[in-house]
Amino acid sequence: MIAYVTVGSNDIQRSKRFYTAFLPALGYTFSEGPEGLSFELPIAKGQVPQPDFYVKPPFNEGPATQGNGSMTAFEATSQDQVRALHAAAFAAGGSDEGAPGFRADYGPRFYVGYLRDPDGNKIALFSSNPNDPSRDD
């Protein structure tokens, strides 16, 4: 099981604007400390813990760079939420890597939008809500 994901940042305040534009809407709590930004999902009794997400300056004090081929995906509750959060993250300093919509390579209900954070880390916002229309509807 994945316990947490960490991405590097060269500008914590810029990253804070970006990630707080959509992660709290997905249920993440937010805290900031001298080591960086922490986003955590509350754990209900009997629930399996979900991975935490951290944004920090690199430990080795070198510049933060994105991983080629790496991506962090966050699950939204609906297609509407994917569109809203993609727009909010874009407005908060992200860059578009693929507008929200269905992708031919994935199942008929997989609705996704892609972004890059201000440091170039790739982010996916997706929903597979069975109550939303599918690609085939």
* CATH assignment at residue 25: 3.10.180.10
Q: Determine the pLDDT at residue 7.
A: 96
Low-confidence ranges of the chain (pLDDT < 70): 1
Residue 76: inside a domain:
yes
Q: Determine the pLDDT at residue 3.
A: 86
Residue 134: inside a domain:
no
Residue 132: inside a domain:
no
Structure tokens at 110: 């997989």
Domain that holds residue 77: 4-58+70-127
Residue 63: inside a domain:
no
Q: Give, in order, the Cα–Cα distances in Å from 4 to each of 18, 36, 41, 49, 50.
A: 19, 14, 11, 10, 8
- Nearest Cα residue to 113 out of 86, 78, 80: 86
Q: Determine the pLDDT at residue 2.
A: 81
Burial class of residue 30, CB neighbours in 10 A (0-12, 13-18, 19+) = middle
Please give the model's pTM, rounded to 2 decimal places.
0.90
Domain count, the chain: 1
Task: Report the alpha-carbon distance of residue 23 to residue 11 in Å, rounded.
Answer: 18
Residue 136: inside a domain:
no
Task: Report the alpha-carbon distance of residue 124 to residue 72 in Å, rounded.
Answer: 6
Residue 135: inside a domain:
no
